[in-house]
Structure 1
Protein backbone atom coordinates (compact mmCIF):
# COMPACT_ATOMS: atom_id res chain seq x y z
CA UNK A 1 0.00 0.00 0.00
CA UNK A 2 1.04 3.61 -0.53
CA UNK A 3 2.09 5.22 2.75
CA UNK A 4 0.32 8.63 2.95
CA UNK A 5 2.88 9.78 5.51
CA UNK A 6 5.73 9.58 2.99
CA UNK A 7 4.93 12.68 1.01
CA UNK A 8 6.24 16.10 0.20
CA UNK A 9 4.99 18.96 2.38
CA UNK A 10 1.92 20.92 1.34
CA UNK A 11 2.44 24.36 -0.18
CA UNK A 12 0.45 27.57 -0.54
CA UNK A 13 -0.32 29.36 -3.78
CA UNK A 14 -1.64 32.91 -3.75
CA UNK A 15 -2.95 34.45 -6.94
CA UNK A 16 -4.25 37.93 -7.70
CA UNK A 17 -6.83 37.55 -10.46
CA UNK A 18 -9.43 39.59 -12.29
CA UNK A 19 -12.79 37.87 -11.74
CA UNK A 20 -15.10 40.24 -13.55
CA UNK A 21 -18.34 41.66 -12.19
CA UNK A 22 -19.23 38.66 -9.97
CA UNK A 23 -22.95 39.12 -10.54
CA UNK A 24 -23.75 35.64 -9.22
CA UNK A 25 -22.34 36.68 -5.84
CA UNK A 26 -25.31 39.03 -5.39
CA UNK A 27 -27.69 36.04 -5.21
CA UNK A 28 -28.03 34.51 -1.75
CA UNK A 29 -28.25 30.73 -1.88
CA UNK A 30 -30.54 28.84 0.53
CA UNK A 31 -28.76 28.00 3.82
CA UNK A 32 -28.82 24.26 3.08
CA UNK A 33 -27.42 24.76 -0.44
CA UNK A 34 -24.75 27.40 0.10
CA UNK A 35 -21.66 25.19 0.03
CA UNK A 36 -21.63 23.15 -3.19
CA UNK A 37 -18.70 21.50 -4.88
CA UNK A 38 -18.13 23.21 -8.21
CA UNK A 39 -16.53 22.09 -11.45
CA UNK A 40 -16.60 23.76 -14.84
CA UNK A 41 -15.57 22.73 -18.33
CA UNK A 42 -15.12 24.76 -21.52
CA UNK A 43 -15.30 23.00 -24.88
CA UNK A 44 -12.76 24.95 -26.89
CA UNK A 45 -14.17 23.76 -30.21
CA UNK A 46 -17.85 24.58 -29.66
CA UNK A 47 -17.49 27.18 -26.92
CA UNK A 48 -20.02 25.30 -24.76
CA UNK A 49 -19.65 25.73 -21.00
CA UNK A 50 -20.70 22.99 -18.57
CA UNK A 51 -21.08 23.77 -14.85
CA UNK A 52 -21.50 21.03 -12.24
CA UNK A 53 -22.99 22.01 -8.87
CA UNK A 54 -22.83 19.07 -6.45
CA UNK A 55 -24.39 18.49 -3.03
CA UNK A 56 -24.85 15.37 -0.94
CA UNK A 57 -28.56 15.53 -1.78
CA UNK A 58 -28.12 15.76 -5.55
CA UNK A 59 -26.50 17.65 -8.40
CA UNK A 60 -27.38 20.40 -10.85
CA UNK A 61 -25.75 20.20 -14.28
CA UNK A 62 -25.94 23.35 -16.42
CA UNK A 63 -24.79 24.00 -19.98
CA UNK A 64 -24.42 27.25 -21.88
CA UNK A 65 -24.18 26.86 -25.66
CA UNK A 66 -24.78 29.52 -28.31
CA UNK A 67 -25.84 31.79 -25.43
CA UNK A 68 -28.72 29.43 -24.53
CA UNK A 69 -28.71 27.85 -21.06
CA UNK A 70 -30.01 24.35 -20.29
CA UNK A 71 -29.98 22.31 -17.10
CA UNK A 72 -30.92 18.96 -15.61
CA UNK A 73 -30.51 17.24 -12.26
CA UNK A 74 -28.90 14.14 -10.82
CA UNK A 75 -30.39 12.50 -7.75
CA UNK A 76 -28.19 11.44 -4.84
CA UNK A 77 -28.04 7.94 -6.35
CA UNK A 78 -26.40 9.42 -9.46
CA UNK A 79 -29.36 8.95 -11.79
CA UNK A 80 -30.21 11.78 -14.19
CA UNK A 81 -33.59 13.38 -13.63
CA UNK A 82 -35.71 16.22 -14.97
CA UNK A 83 -37.08 16.69 -11.44
CA UNK A 84 -35.14 18.61 -8.82
CA UNK A 85 -34.15 16.94 -5.53
CA UNK A 86 -34.90 20.24 -3.75
CA UNK A 87 -37.96 22.38 -3.11
CA UNK A 88 -39.35 24.59 -5.85
CA UNK A 89 -38.14 27.90 -4.41
CA UNK A 90 -34.68 26.53 -3.56
CA UNK A 91 -34.37 25.04 -7.03
CA UNK A 92 -35.30 28.31 -8.69
CA UNK A 93 -32.65 30.17 -6.70
CA UNK A 94 -29.88 27.63 -7.35
CA UNK A 95 -30.63 27.46 -11.08
CA UNK A 96 -30.66 31.27 -11.34
CA UNK A 97 -27.37 31.47 -9.44
CA UNK A 98 -25.67 28.74 -11.49
CA UNK A 99 -26.83 30.20 -14.80
CA UNK A 100 -25.50 33.63 -13.87
CA UNK A 101 -22.22 32.09 -12.69
CA UNK A 102 -21.83 30.39 -16.08
CA UNK A 103 -22.42 33.68 -17.88
CA UNK A 104 -19.96 35.47 -15.58
CA UNK A 105 -17.39 32.79 -16.37
CA UNK A 106 -18.10 33.02 -20.09
CA UNK A 107 -17.30 36.75 -20.06
CA UNK A 108 -13.79 36.22 -18.67
CA UNK A 109 -13.07 32.56 -19.51
CA UNK A 110 -10.16 33.11 -21.89
CA UNK A 111 -8.21 35.43 -19.59
CA UNK A 112 -9.11 33.52 -16.42
CA UNK A 113 -8.08 30.11 -17.73
CA UNK A 114 -4.80 31.53 -19.02
CA UNK A 115 -4.08 33.14 -15.65
CA UNK A 116 -4.96 29.97 -13.74
CA UNK A 117 -2.66 27.89 -15.96
CA UNK A 118 0.16 30.42 -15.64
CA UNK A 119 -0.25 30.65 -11.86
CA UNK A 120 -0.06 26.85 -11.55
CA UNK A 121 3.09 26.84 -13.71
CA UNK A 122 4.64 29.47 -11.45
CA UNK A 123 3.77 27.32 -8.44
CA UNK A 124 5.41 24.29 -10.04
CA UNK A 125 8.58 26.38 -10.38
CA UNK A 126 8.54 27.18 -6.66
CA UNK A 127 6.89 30.61 -6.63
CA UNK A 128 4.02 31.18 -4.18
CA UNK A 129 2.53 34.42 -5.58
CA UNK A 130 1.13 35.16 -9.03
CA UNK A 131 -0.30 38.50 -10.14
CA UNK A 132 -2.25 38.79 -13.38
CA UNK A 133 -1.49 41.51 -15.89
CA UNK A 134 -4.10 44.24 -16.26
CA UNK A 135 -4.42 47.50 -18.13
CA UNK A 136 -5.55 50.44 -16.02
CA UNK A 137 -7.32 50.43 -12.65
CA UNK A 138 -9.50 47.35 -12.16
CA UNK A 139 -10.88 45.40 -9.22
CA UNK A 140 -8.75 42.36 -8.39
CA UNK A 141 -9.20 39.42 -6.03
CA UNK A 142 -6.58 37.67 -3.92
CA UNK A 143 -7.12 33.90 -3.76
CA UNK A 144 -5.17 31.46 -1.63
CA UNK A 145 -5.15 27.67 -1.98
CA UNK A 146 -3.25 24.91 -0.22
CA UNK A 147 -1.73 22.32 -2.54
CA UNK A 148 -1.13 18.87 -1.05
CA UNK A 149 2.33 17.43 -1.50
CA UNK A 150 2.86 14.40 -3.73
CA UNK A 151 3.22 10.94 -2.25
CA UNK A 152 6.89 10.06 -2.61
CA UNK A 153 7.42 7.50 -5.35
CA UNK A 154 10.62 6.10 -6.80
CA UNK A 155 11.36 6.26 -10.51
CA UNK A 156 10.46 3.12 -12.43
CA UNK A 157 13.06 0.56 -11.38
CA UNK A 158 11.91 -2.35 -13.50
CA UNK A 159 12.98 -3.35 -16.98
CA UNK A 160 12.05 -1.34 -20.04
CA UNK A 161 9.73 1.65 -19.92
CA UNK A 162 6.27 2.37 -18.51
CA UNK A 163 3.52 4.89 -19.10
CA UNK A 164 -0.12 5.13 -18.06
CA UNK A 165 -3.28 6.04 -19.91
CA UNK A 166 -7.00 6.36 -19.25
CA UNK A 167 -9.24 3.43 -20.09
CA UNK A 168 -13.01 2.99 -20.19
CA UNK A 169 -14.85 2.12 -17.01
CA UNK A 170 -16.19 3.45 -13.73
CA UNK A 171 -13.94 5.02 -11.13
CA UNK A 172 -11.61 6.89 -13.50
CA UNK A 173 -9.51 3.80 -14.35
CA UNK A 174 -6.04 3.86 -15.88
CA UNK A 175 -3.84 1.15 -17.36
CA UNK A 176 -0.12 0.80 -16.66
CA UNK A 177 1.55 0.27 -20.03
CA UNK A 178 4.92 -1.45 -20.36
CA UNK A 179 7.53 -2.16 -23.02
CA UNK A 180 10.55 -4.43 -22.63
CA UNK A 181 12.87 -1.97 -24.37
CA UNK A 182 13.09 1.75 -25.08
CA UNK A 183 10.09 1.77 -27.41
CA UNK A 184 6.82 3.45 -26.46
CA UNK A 185 4.98 1.34 -23.86
CA UNK A 186 1.86 -0.27 -25.30
CA UNK A 187 1.28 -3.50 -23.35
CA UNK A 188 -1.12 -3.19 -20.38
CA UNK A 189 0.22 -5.02 -17.32
CA UNK A 190 -1.86 -3.55 -14.48
CA UNK A 191 -4.80 -1.24 -13.80
CA UNK A 192 -5.81 1.23 -11.10
CA UNK A 193 -9.11 2.91 -10.37
CA UNK A 194 -10.97 4.73 -7.60
CA UNK A 195 -13.57 2.87 -5.57
CA UNK A 196 -16.50 5.30 -5.83
CA UNK A 197 -17.99 4.17 -2.52
CA UNK A 198 -14.95 4.06 -0.26
CA UNK A 199 -12.80 6.45 -2.35
CA UNK A 200 -9.92 3.99 -1.92
CA UNK A 201 -7.54 3.24 -4.78
CA UNK A 202 -7.93 -0.27 -6.19
CA UNK A 203 -5.18 -1.88 -8.25
CA UNK A 204 -4.99 -5.20 -10.06
CA UNK A 205 -2.42 -7.07 -12.11
CA UNK A 206 -3.49 -8.27 -15.54
CA UNK A 207 -3.24 -11.97 -16.44
CA UNK A 208 -0.46 -13.39 -18.55
CA UNK A 209 2.29 -11.04 -17.34
CA UNK A 210 5.78 -12.47 -16.79
CA UNK A 211 6.87 -10.41 -13.78
CA UNK A 212 10.44 -11.67 -14.06
CA UNK A 213 10.52 -10.11 -17.51
CA UNK A 214 9.03 -6.88 -16.12
CA UNK A 215 11.88 -6.82 -13.62
CA UNK A 216 9.84 -6.21 -10.46
CA UNK A 217 7.58 -8.42 -8.34
CA UNK A 218 3.87 -8.09 -9.01
CA UNK A 219 3.08 -6.48 -5.62
CA UNK A 220 5.87 -3.91 -5.95
CA UNK A 221 4.46 -2.85 -9.31
CA UNK A 222 0.96 -2.48 -7.83
CA UNK A 223 2.28 -0.46 -4.88
CA UNK A 224 4.18 1.81 -7.27
CA UNK A 225 1.10 2.22 -9.49
CA UNK A 226 -1.00 3.19 -6.46
CA UNK A 227 1.33 6.11 -5.72
CA UNK A 228 1.32 7.22 -9.35
CA UNK A 229 -2.47 7.06 -9.44
CA UNK A 230 -2.80 9.14 -6.28
CA UNK A 231 -0.43 11.86 -7.48
CA UNK A 232 -1.91 12.17 -10.96
CA UNK A 233 -5.58 11.28 -10.55
CA UNK A 234 -6.67 11.71 -6.92
CA UNK A 235 -4.73 14.61 -5.45
CA UNK A 236 -6.04 18.01 -6.55
CA UNK A 237 -3.44 19.99 -8.48
CA UNK A 238 -2.76 23.71 -8.20
CA UNK A 239 -4.63 24.53 -11.40
CA UNK A 240 -7.81 22.73 -10.38
CA UNK A 241 -7.75 24.14 -6.85
CA UNK A 242 -7.26 27.70 -8.08
CA UNK A 243 -10.04 27.45 -10.67
CA UNK A 244 -12.40 26.08 -8.02
CA UNK A 245 -11.46 28.93 -5.66
CA UNK A 246 -12.10 31.46 -8.44
CA UNK A 247 -15.55 29.98 -9.12
CA UNK A 248 -16.43 30.08 -5.43
CA UNK A 249 -15.35 33.72 -5.16
CA UNK A 250 -17.32 34.60 -8.30
CA UNK A 251 -20.34 32.87 -6.79
CA UNK A 252 -19.98 34.54 -3.40
CA UNK A 253 -19.62 31.28 -1.46
CA UNK A 254 -16.00 31.34 -0.32
Structure 2
Protein backbone atom coordinates (compact mmCIF):
# COMPACT_ATOMS: atom_id res chain seq x y z
CA UNK A 1 0.00 0.00 0.00
CA UNK A 2 1.23 3.51 -0.83
CA UNK A 3 2.53 5.49 2.11
CA UNK A 4 0.39 8.46 3.05
CA UNK A 5 3.22 10.94 2.41
CA UNK A 6 3.65 9.51 -1.08
CA UNK A 7 -0.10 9.68 -1.65
CA UNK A 8 -0.22 13.37 -0.71
CA UNK A 9 2.63 14.03 -3.12
CA UNK A 10 0.81 12.12 -5.88
CA UNK A 11 -2.38 14.14 -5.30
CA UNK A 12 -0.40 17.31 -5.91
CA UNK A 13 1.11 15.78 -9.04
CA UNK A 14 -2.34 14.82 -10.36
CA UNK A 15 -3.53 18.38 -9.89
CA UNK A 16 -0.38 19.88 -11.42
CA UNK A 17 -0.64 17.91 -14.64
CA UNK A 18 -4.34 18.60 -15.25
CA UNK A 19 -5.68 21.67 -17.05
CA UNK A 20 -9.17 21.20 -15.57
CA UNK A 21 -10.67 20.46 -12.15
CA UNK A 22 -9.97 16.89 -10.99
CA UNK A 23 -12.69 15.17 -9.01
CA UNK A 24 -12.06 13.14 -5.88
CA UNK A 25 -13.46 10.09 -7.68
CA UNK A 26 -10.87 10.43 -10.46
CA UNK A 27 -8.03 10.74 -7.98
CA UNK A 28 -9.34 7.84 -5.91
CA UNK A 29 -9.50 5.60 -8.99
CA UNK A 30 -5.90 6.38 -10.02
CA UNK A 31 -4.47 6.08 -6.52
CA UNK A 32 -6.62 3.05 -5.67
CA UNK A 33 -8.07 4.46 -2.45
CA UNK A 34 -11.52 5.49 -1.34
CA UNK A 35 -13.10 8.85 -2.20
CA UNK A 36 -13.35 9.54 1.52
CA UNK A 37 -9.57 9.13 1.82
CA UNK A 38 -9.08 11.69 -0.95
CA UNK A 39 -11.38 14.17 0.78
CA UNK A 40 -9.40 13.76 3.99
CA UNK A 41 -6.04 14.07 2.21
CA UNK A 42 -7.08 17.19 0.29
CA UNK A 43 -8.30 18.79 3.52
CA UNK A 44 -4.92 18.00 5.12
CA UNK A 45 -3.05 19.52 2.16
CA UNK A 46 -5.16 22.67 2.37
CA UNK A 47 -4.40 22.76 6.11
CA UNK A 48 -0.69 22.66 5.21
CA UNK A 49 -1.27 25.77 3.06
CA UNK A 50 -1.10 24.01 -0.29
CA UNK A 51 -3.22 26.35 -2.51
CA UNK A 52 -5.92 23.91 -3.63
CA UNK A 53 -9.31 25.32 -4.58
CA UNK A 54 -12.57 23.50 -5.26
CA UNK A 55 -15.15 21.42 -3.51
CA UNK A 56 -16.60 17.93 -3.34
CA UNK A 57 -18.57 17.02 -6.45
CA UNK A 58 -17.04 19.78 -8.57
CA UNK A 59 -13.34 18.97 -8.51
CA UNK A 60 -10.11 20.50 -7.31
CA UNK A 61 -7.49 22.72 -8.95
CA UNK A 62 -4.00 23.69 -7.84
CA UNK A 63 -2.89 27.31 -8.02
CA UNK A 64 -0.44 27.77 -10.91
CA UNK A 65 1.88 29.74 -8.66
CA UNK A 66 2.42 26.77 -6.34
CA UNK A 67 5.85 25.22 -6.61
CA UNK A 68 7.51 22.19 -5.09
CA UNK A 69 11.14 21.12 -5.20
CA UNK A 70 11.37 20.20 -8.91
CA UNK A 71 13.18 16.89 -8.48
CA UNK A 72 11.22 15.14 -5.76
CA UNK A 73 11.04 12.13 -8.06
CA UNK A 74 9.65 8.68 -7.38
CA UNK A 75 11.46 5.58 -8.64
CA UNK A 76 8.91 5.16 -11.43
CA UNK A 77 9.37 8.78 -12.52
CA UNK A 78 13.15 8.33 -12.66
CA UNK A 79 12.80 5.21 -14.79
CA UNK A 80 10.30 6.95 -17.09
CA UNK A 81 12.63 9.94 -17.55
CA UNK A 82 15.68 7.75 -18.23
CA UNK A 83 13.82 5.51 -20.69
CA UNK A 84 12.50 8.52 -22.59
CA UNK A 85 15.92 10.19 -22.63
CA UNK A 86 17.53 6.96 -23.90
CA UNK A 87 15.10 6.86 -26.82
CA UNK A 88 15.70 10.52 -27.69
CA UNK A 89 19.46 10.07 -27.46
CA UNK A 90 19.23 7.20 -29.95
CA UNK A 91 16.59 8.60 -32.31
CA UNK A 92 16.55 12.40 -32.01
CA UNK A 93 18.47 14.95 -34.04
CA UNK A 94 21.97 15.90 -32.88
CA UNK A 95 20.85 18.74 -30.62
CA UNK A 96 18.05 16.73 -28.99
CA UNK A 97 20.30 13.68 -28.57
CA UNK A 98 22.90 15.73 -26.71
CA UNK A 99 20.18 17.38 -24.62
CA UNK A 100 18.87 13.92 -23.65
CA UNK A 101 22.34 12.83 -22.49
CA UNK A 102 22.72 16.05 -20.51
CA UNK A 103 19.31 15.43 -18.92
CA UNK A 104 20.37 11.98 -17.70
CA UNK A 105 23.57 13.44 -16.25
CA UNK A 106 21.65 16.19 -14.44
CA UNK A 107 19.15 13.75 -12.96
CA UNK A 108 21.98 11.52 -11.80
CA UNK A 109 23.63 14.48 -10.06
CA UNK A 110 20.60 15.48 -7.98
CA UNK A 111 18.57 12.36 -7.16
CA UNK A 112 19.03 10.62 -3.79
CA UNK A 113 21.66 7.90 -3.57
CA UNK A 114 19.10 5.09 -3.45
CA UNK A 115 17.69 6.12 -6.87
CA UNK A 116 21.02 6.35 -8.71
CA UNK A 117 21.22 2.64 -9.66
CA UNK A 118 18.04 3.16 -11.70
CA UNK A 119 20.08 5.52 -13.88
CA UNK A 120 23.49 3.84 -13.91
CA UNK A 121 22.05 0.31 -14.24
CA UNK A 122 18.48 0.78 -15.57
CA UNK A 123 16.09 -2.15 -15.73
CA UNK A 124 14.77 -1.01 -19.16
CA UNK A 125 16.38 0.15 -22.36
CA UNK A 126 15.14 1.87 -25.52
CA UNK A 127 15.81 0.02 -28.75
CA UNK A 128 18.30 1.80 -31.05
CA UNK A 129 17.14 2.56 -34.60
CA UNK A 130 17.61 -0.14 -37.24
CA UNK A 131 19.14 2.34 -39.66
CA UNK A 132 20.22 5.96 -39.82
CA UNK A 133 17.42 8.24 -41.01
CA UNK A 134 18.33 10.38 -44.01
CA UNK A 135 16.38 13.60 -43.55
CA UNK A 136 16.14 16.01 -46.46
CA UNK A 137 15.46 18.89 -44.10
CA UNK A 138 17.28 20.39 -41.12
CA UNK A 139 15.33 18.94 -38.19
CA UNK A 140 16.89 21.27 -35.63
CA UNK A 141 15.86 24.34 -37.61
CA UNK A 142 12.46 22.82 -38.36
CA UNK A 143 11.76 22.52 -34.62
CA UNK A 144 12.54 26.22 -34.26
CA UNK A 145 10.14 27.11 -37.09
CA UNK A 146 7.39 25.00 -35.49
CA UNK A 147 7.77 26.89 -32.22
CA UNK A 148 7.67 30.32 -33.89
CA UNK A 149 5.00 29.62 -36.52
CA UNK A 150 7.19 30.01 -39.61
CA UNK A 151 6.48 28.77 -43.13
CA UNK A 152 8.72 26.36 -45.03
CA UNK A 153 8.96 25.84 -48.80
CA UNK A 154 9.84 22.26 -49.71
CA UNK A 155 10.47 20.29 -52.85
CA UNK A 156 8.87 16.92 -52.14
CA UNK A 157 9.13 13.55 -53.87
CA UNK A 158 6.03 11.36 -53.47
CA UNK A 159 5.84 7.57 -53.35
CA UNK A 160 5.81 7.36 -57.15
CA UNK A 161 8.88 9.56 -57.46
CA UNK A 162 7.06 12.64 -58.76
CA UNK A 163 8.33 15.96 -57.37
CA UNK A 164 6.25 18.98 -56.40
CA UNK A 165 6.84 22.23 -54.58
CA UNK A 166 4.81 23.05 -51.49
CA UNK A 167 4.64 25.80 -48.90
CA UNK A 168 3.78 24.22 -45.57
CA UNK A 169 2.97 25.39 -42.06
CA UNK A 170 4.72 22.76 -39.93
CA UNK A 171 2.89 21.65 -36.78
CA UNK A 172 4.72 18.68 -35.30
CA UNK A 173 7.42 16.12 -36.12
CA UNK A 174 6.38 12.50 -35.77
CA UNK A 175 9.04 9.89 -34.92
CA UNK A 176 8.69 6.30 -36.13
CA UNK A 177 11.07 3.33 -36.21
CA UNK A 178 12.13 3.83 -39.82
CA UNK A 179 11.13 7.38 -40.68
CA UNK A 180 10.21 10.83 -39.47
CA UNK A 181 7.16 12.73 -40.71
CA UNK A 182 6.08 16.36 -40.63
CA UNK A 183 2.42 17.10 -39.96
CA UNK A 184 1.63 20.42 -41.61
CA UNK A 185 -0.95 22.61 -43.28
CA UNK A 186 -0.29 22.49 -47.04
CA UNK A 187 -1.07 25.71 -48.90
CA UNK A 188 -1.29 23.86 -52.22
CA UNK A 189 -3.88 21.35 -50.99
CA UNK A 190 -5.52 23.72 -48.50
CA UNK A 191 -5.63 20.88 -46.01
CA UNK A 192 -3.52 19.09 -43.43
CA UNK A 193 -0.96 16.69 -44.86
CA UNK A 194 1.94 14.52 -43.66
CA UNK A 195 5.35 14.61 -45.33
CA UNK A 196 8.17 12.11 -44.84
CA UNK A 197 11.42 13.90 -44.07
CA UNK A 198 13.44 11.45 -46.19
CA UNK A 199 11.37 12.44 -49.24
CA UNK A 200 12.11 16.14 -48.87
CA UNK A 201 14.49 17.01 -51.71
CA UNK A 202 15.11 20.62 -50.71
CA UNK A 203 13.83 22.99 -48.04
CA UNK A 204 13.84 26.77 -47.66
CA UNK A 205 12.94 28.27 -44.29
CA UNK A 206 10.91 31.40 -45.01
CA UNK A 207 10.79 34.58 -42.93
CA UNK A 208 7.02 34.69 -43.42
CA UNK A 209 4.79 33.63 -40.50
CA UNK A 210 1.44 31.94 -40.95
CA UNK A 211 -1.61 33.71 -39.46
CA UNK A 212 -2.48 33.02 -35.83
CA UNK A 213 -0.48 31.37 -33.03
CA UNK A 214 1.09 27.89 -33.47
CA UNK A 215 -1.10 26.50 -30.68
CA UNK A 216 -4.28 27.40 -32.57
CA UNK A 217 -3.07 25.60 -35.70
CA UNK A 218 -2.22 22.53 -33.62
CA UNK A 219 -5.73 22.49 -32.17
CA UNK A 220 -7.22 22.68 -35.68
CA UNK A 221 -5.01 19.79 -36.77
CA UNK A 222 -6.05 17.64 -33.78
CA UNK A 223 -9.72 18.37 -34.46
CA UNK A 224 -9.27 17.44 -38.13
CA UNK A 225 -7.84 14.08 -37.05
CA UNK A 226 -10.79 13.45 -34.74
CA UNK A 227 -13.23 14.40 -37.51
CA UNK A 228 -11.57 11.97 -39.93
CA UNK A 229 -11.71 9.14 -37.40
CA UNK A 230 -15.38 9.89 -36.73
CA UNK A 231 -16.19 9.92 -40.46
CA UNK A 232 -14.30 6.65 -40.96
CA UNK A 233 -16.14 5.01 -38.08
CA UNK A 234 -19.46 6.24 -39.50
CA UNK A 235 -18.63 4.71 -42.88
CA UNK A 236 -17.66 1.43 -41.23
CA UNK A 237 -20.93 1.31 -39.30
CA UNK A 238 -22.88 2.05 -42.47
CA UNK A 239 -21.03 -0.76 -44.22
CA UNK A 240 -21.84 -3.20 -41.42
CA UNK A 241 -25.51 -2.27 -41.61
CA UNK A 242 -25.56 -2.81 -45.38
CA UNK A 243 -23.87 -6.19 -45.04
CA UNK A 244 -26.50 -7.22 -42.49
CA UNK A 245 -29.33 -6.78 -45.03
CA UNK A 246 -30.03 -10.07 -46.86
CA UNK A 247 -29.49 -10.09 -50.62
CA UNK A 248 -32.80 -9.96 -52.52
CA UNK A 249 -33.06 -11.03 -56.16
* Structure with greater proportional strand content: 1
Return the structure number with greater relative CO, CA threshold 8 A, min gap 6. Answer: 1
TM-score range, shorter chain: under 0.3
Which one has a larger percent helix, Structure 1 or Structure 2?
2
Report the TM-score, using the length of structure 2 for normalisation: 0.28
Larger Rg: 2
TM-score by length of structure 1 reads: 0.27
